[in-house]
Structure 1
Amino acid sequence: MTSTGVIENASAEQSVLGAVFLDPSVLDDISFLEDRDFVNPVHQEIYRVMRYLERHNKPIDIVTVTELYVQHKKQNQLSVSYLLQLSEACPTTENVTHHANIVRSKAIRRRGDNIGQEISKISREDFETDEDYYAAVESKIANLRPKENGQMKSFKETRYQYFNHLVTKNVEYIPTHFPKFDAWANGVWRGWLFVSAGRPSVGKTAMLLQRAMGVALTGPVLIYSQEMDEHQVKDRMISGYTGIPYNRIKKKELNPNQYAEVEEAYNLLQELPIFIQDSSGVTIDEVRATAKRFKRQYGDLAMIAVDYLQIMRIPQGKNETRAQAIGNVTGAAKQIAREMKCCFMMLSQMTRDSENFKKPTLAHLKESSSIEQDADVVEFLWHDPNDTHPQGKVVQQFIAKGRDIGINDFKLLFRGWKQKFEELD
């Protein structure tokens, strides 16, 4: 490493530790960082102490860190003045994740360099078979990858947690306030990746927004709208809530009574914890970071909703296909659902070929390689031209995949003029 690199790394390490002293909650944002990632042994030890205090729900500050050093008779390794210097080295926690990534990136490359030298050495050793050599090399490379936060646990170790889980009243499902669907599936479940697919103009977004209003009665909902701005989203929600024709709201052709109804609906909706971001090209990393921030502020989220998958900004690595890149996103979405203990609802397109079939199948998910594999539930919304209703469009709701709930069909009436779905018998 160059002298410049050493200085940059030391500065980044100090900034990370200083940020933790400033606000210990940032440890949630840098959970990927390991103590071995710090090049300075003193910094490694300080970070280990911070994580120890966090695990034991103790405050993290200069006093508690120093106290642990004293308890373990290691106070000669660290001065209080240096801890004060660290706490003053970071005026803000805003860039802590950036600095932590610098520390980890440098650490991975250091380990890669060291492992390369070790592999070079063992290449000159005698092995009985090539397989033994492969095994030796792979064991070295395994140390390069960052450690997983998860840990294998036995039944004995987790006995208390399991029975505590059984007796708690916290339910894992969230009502959507679609009565027939909720009676069958109990609503949407925490930890689900729920993919809702359909061709254009079938009402995917309207269904999403109506569900969001129902789910928000249980907890916070984050909506990422990539095709419509915030006001358009609200227009649709208020139309569905009040029954005022969507076109009248969109064209701003409201009479005084309707304007009063809109104001009353807005007053009620603003009490629901619904948050909307209307930027296009959102990334899955941005979704994760925002979700973590909202969870710290509001507690467990109820739902994250992205409209829609194929227009997200999806990084594509070298020699990686578009389908593989989308698979990375759906895999990450499933992981976020589990980490945040919420339902992650993702809208998706269907292939044009699906219009030639009576009923869609999982193969009709556009760029479906990993979508059907990662999703807990796949829902298709589709229209059968032969099924009509005098009050609106009949939309078939086909649950084509349902982990733990099975598959099912529902019939919906979509009253597009007011952006609202109703379940039919």
Structure 2
Amino acid sequence: MNPLENYSHLPQNSIELERAVLGVMLTQPTGLREALELLRGGADTFYHPPHRPLFTAIQRLNATGKTVDYYTVGQYLAQVGKMQAAGGSRYIQGLLAKAPYGTGIADYCQYMNLLWGKRRVGVLMHQLTKDAADPTTDLSDLLASAYATINQIQEGLQVRGTYTLSGLLDQVAEEIVAATLKPGGITGIPSGLGSIDDVTGGWQPSDLIIVAARPGVGKTSFALANAVPAALAGYPGAIFNLEMSNTQMVRKTIATELGEYSTNQLAKGYFPSGGVEEARTIRDRVTRLEQAEIYLEDTPGLSIGEFRAKAARLKAEHDIRWIVVDYLQLMTGEKKGSREQEIGSISRGLKLTAKELNVPVIALSQLSRAVESRGGEKKPMLSDLRESGSIEQDADVVVFLYRPEYYKIKEDEMGESVADTTEVIFAKHRNGPLAEVIVGSTMKNGRYFDLEPAAPVAEPAPAEHFGPRILPLKLPSLSTLRTATASHFSDDGAPVS
């Protein structure tokens, strides 16, 4: 049953626009190509029943390389038994006779997309009302479904342009010049560790960065060592905490900032020398963190649909420049198939989010136990990524954290002490070199630091450099659209003969 059937009002639609668009598609090859590209909802973009099979016929003829006109569409509809469903030959002739000419097809299609989006929101609200009244409905499932649908609607309204190589040469040349002016060559989001930025140039917009390690090696601390300096340098961001609460994350951040207490010590209030008085000084000693624009989300069991919707909202409201997910395996994805397929849907969703919002997404990930069963140094490999090869496939950068002390290794092959060090291993780097970087790390307070002086941190780039690469919708007023098509239709919307 159509959920719209019980509505007491007519859903948003325009028969004039739909007829105008179909008329253009049947008479103008350029308009045909433009409409097929812009109407991302396909046949569902059309509200009036006869227009859906007609659009489908046009779409399928074009996809097979056949001519699209009155005769071929008529033959196709007759062959599949849909001529009457499409209004009949006389109705189609009316579309041809009164098809508007000019360059308005893009505006018509974009307005139709908005009407389609409103109808979808109406269907969603109707379904939410129905499901909310069902006592067996799980609230988290209900919200996840709503987030996913809203995200799909939003995607349908994003009209992305096609660019030419020549058209982008000036822009890229300017970016190359700008890169030479950046301190330390940092063109992306600074990591807070100069040795890492030497390899990456900063975490780059639209990249999915996987930071993987065994439990207890220091993934969350590494993420904070990246996040806090970036935020203090003027790059706001978001951390999705799936393993710990927001308050636990803030406590861990305080421990890292002060560098003299462990997170456990702060949680227990253990200050043997200063007691309560020492504890009361902590708030005043971390005032610098007030300047760190970091947004925290600790929704448990976060679905990939919820994540994408929340990330889009944070981008729109706060212009976040980076995202951290802690950690990937605690998210929920599509429940169809195996756990590996579910993880695959999560990694694809993370990559899509990075690309759509044009921000680096740093996702922490667990490594499998296969690392422990190997002999020697037990350095991780790409095959150790837990539960799915899709993680490796979707990632632009895969970083392994390897701490020799974790495996009771005291010295390297040269006999040098490896105490308080972590190897940051770039096992995959789509747009840069593979490398192994050694940084200092003290796990008691979760601090990471360069073993050599770091390069200066780059100033934030303009917001538009990191904004979503989406063409704005140029919409004429409804009165303008009606004026443009009014001469082709009678008052009841029928074609004028």
TM-score bracket, shorter-length normalisation: 0.5 to 0.7
Q: Mapping of 1:89-104 within 5 angstroms?
A: 99=121, 102=124
1:315 aligned residue: 334
Spell out, residue by residue over 1:51-89, the C-alpha distance to the aligned partner (whole angstroms, 9 max, x if none): xxxxxxxxxxxxxxxxxxxxx9x9xxxxxxxxxxxxxxx
1:153 aligned residue: 163
Query: Which protein shows a greater Rg?
Result: 2
1:134 aligned residue: none
Higher fraction of strand: 1
2:361 aligned residue: 344
Spell out, residue by residue over 1:370-413, the C-alpha distance to the aligned partner (whole angstroms, 9 max, x if none): 11111111111123232359895433221111122211112233
* Distance in structure 2 (CA, Å) of the matches to 1:32 and 1:189: 29
* Distance in structure 1 (CA, Å) of the matches to 2:224 and 2:4: 49
Residue 205 of structure 2 is aligned to residue 190 of structure 1: yes
One-letter code aligned to 1:175: P
1:241 aligned residue: 257
For structure 1, which runs of at least 5 residues remain unmatched after alignment?
Answer: 15-30, 45-71, 75-94, 106-145
Residue 352 of structure 2 is aligned to residue 330 of structure 1: no
SS in 2 for 1:191: coil
Q: Mapping of 1:315-394 within 5 angstroms?
A: 315-317=334-336, 320-357=337-374, 358=377, 359-384=379-404, 385-387=408-410, 393-394=420-421
* Distance in structure 1 (CA, Å) of the matches to 2:216 and 2:280: 30
Residue 324 of structure 2 is aligned to residue 305 of structure 1: yes
2:245 aligned residue: 229
* Distance in structure 1 (CA, Å) of the matches to 2:160 and 2:203: 25
TM-score by length of 1: 0.65
2:445 aligned residue: 418
Cα RMSD over matched residues? Answer: 3.9
* Distance in structure 2 (CA, Å) of the matches to 1:160 and 1:207: 37
Do the aligned partners of 2:341 and 2:388 also contact (CA within 8 Å) in 1? no
Distance 1:7 1:222, change over 3 A: same
Deviation at 1:315, TM superposition (A): 2.1
1:130 aligned residue: none
* Distance in structure 1 (CA, Å) of the matches to 2:172 and 2:199: 26
Do the aligned partners of 1:218 and 1:302 also contact (CA within 8 Å) in 2? no
Deviation at 1:287, TM superposition (A): 1.7
Distance 1:399 1:163, change over 3 A: closer
Do the aligned partners of 2:188 and 2:203 also contact (CA within 8 Å) in 1? yes
* Distance in structure 1 (CA, Å) of the matches to 2:432 and 2:119: 39
SS in 2 for 1:412: strand
SS in 1 for 2:301: coil
Deviation at 1:188, TM superposition (A): 1.2
1:68 aligned residue: none
For structure 2, which runs of at least 5 residues remain unmatched after alignment?
Answer: 14-38, 53-101, 105-116, 128-155, 453-497
2:301 aligned residue: 281
* Distance in structure 2 (CA, Å) of the matches to 1:329 and 1:11: 38
* Distance in structure 1 (CA, Å) of the matches to 2:381 and 2:177: 39
* Distance in structure 2 (CA, Å) of the matches to 1:7 and 1:224: 39
2:95 aligned residue: none
* Distance in structure 2 (CA, Å) of the matches to 1:183 and 1:302: 20
One-letter code aligned to 1:233: M
Distance 1:408 1:11, change over 3 A: farther
* Distance in structure 2 (CA, Å) of the matches to 1:9 and 1:369: 50
State which of 223, 230, 236 in structure 2 corresponds to 1:215. 230
* Distance in structure 2 (CA, Å) of the matches to 1:273 and 1:383: 30
Distance 1:182 1:38, change over 3 A: same
1:403 aligned residue: 430
Spell out, residue by residue over 1:219-260, the C-alpha distance to the aligned partner (whole angstroms, 9 max, x if none): 221111112111111111101101231232111234355435
One-letter code aligned to 2:165: F
Distance 1:368 1:271, change over 3 A: same
Residue 190 of structure 2 is aligned to residue 175 of structure 1: yes
* Distance in structure 1 (CA, Å) of the matches to 2:123 and 2:402: 44
Distance 1:343 1:354, change over 3 A: same
Do the aligned partners of 1:387 and 1:394 also contact (CA within 8 Å) in 2? no
One-letter code aligned to 1:99: V
* Distance in structure 2 (CA, Å) of the matches to 1:168 and 1:40: 52
* Distance in structure 1 (CA, Å) of the matches to 2:325 and 2:221: 13
* Distance in structure 1 (CA, Å) of the matches to 2:201 and 2:419: 27
Q: Mapping of 1:3-152 within 5 angstroms?
A: 5-8=4-7, 13=12, 37-40=45-48, 99=121, 102=124, 149-152=159-162
One-letter code aligned to 1:423: D
Distance 1:328 1:252, change over 3 A: same
Deviation at 1:199, TM superposition (A): 0.5
Deviation at 1:347, TM superposition (A): 0.6
SS in 1 for 2:340: helix
Structure number with higher relative contact order (C-alpha < 8 Å, ≥ 6 residues apart): 2
Spell out, residue by residue over 1:306-329, the C-alpha distance to the aligned partner (whole angstroms, 9 max, x if none): 111111112222xx3322221222
Distance 1:421 1:164, change over 3 A: closer
* Distance in structure 2 (CA, Å) of the matches to 1:256 and 1:309: 38
SS in 2 for 1:386: coil
Spell out, residue by residue over 1:326-353, the C-alpha distance to the aligned partner (whole angstroms, 9 max, x if none): 1222112112112212110101110101
1:203 aligned residue: 218
Percent sequence identity over aligned pairs? 25
One-letter code aligned to 2:211: S
Count residues with an aligned counterpart: 319
SS in 1 for 2:444: helix
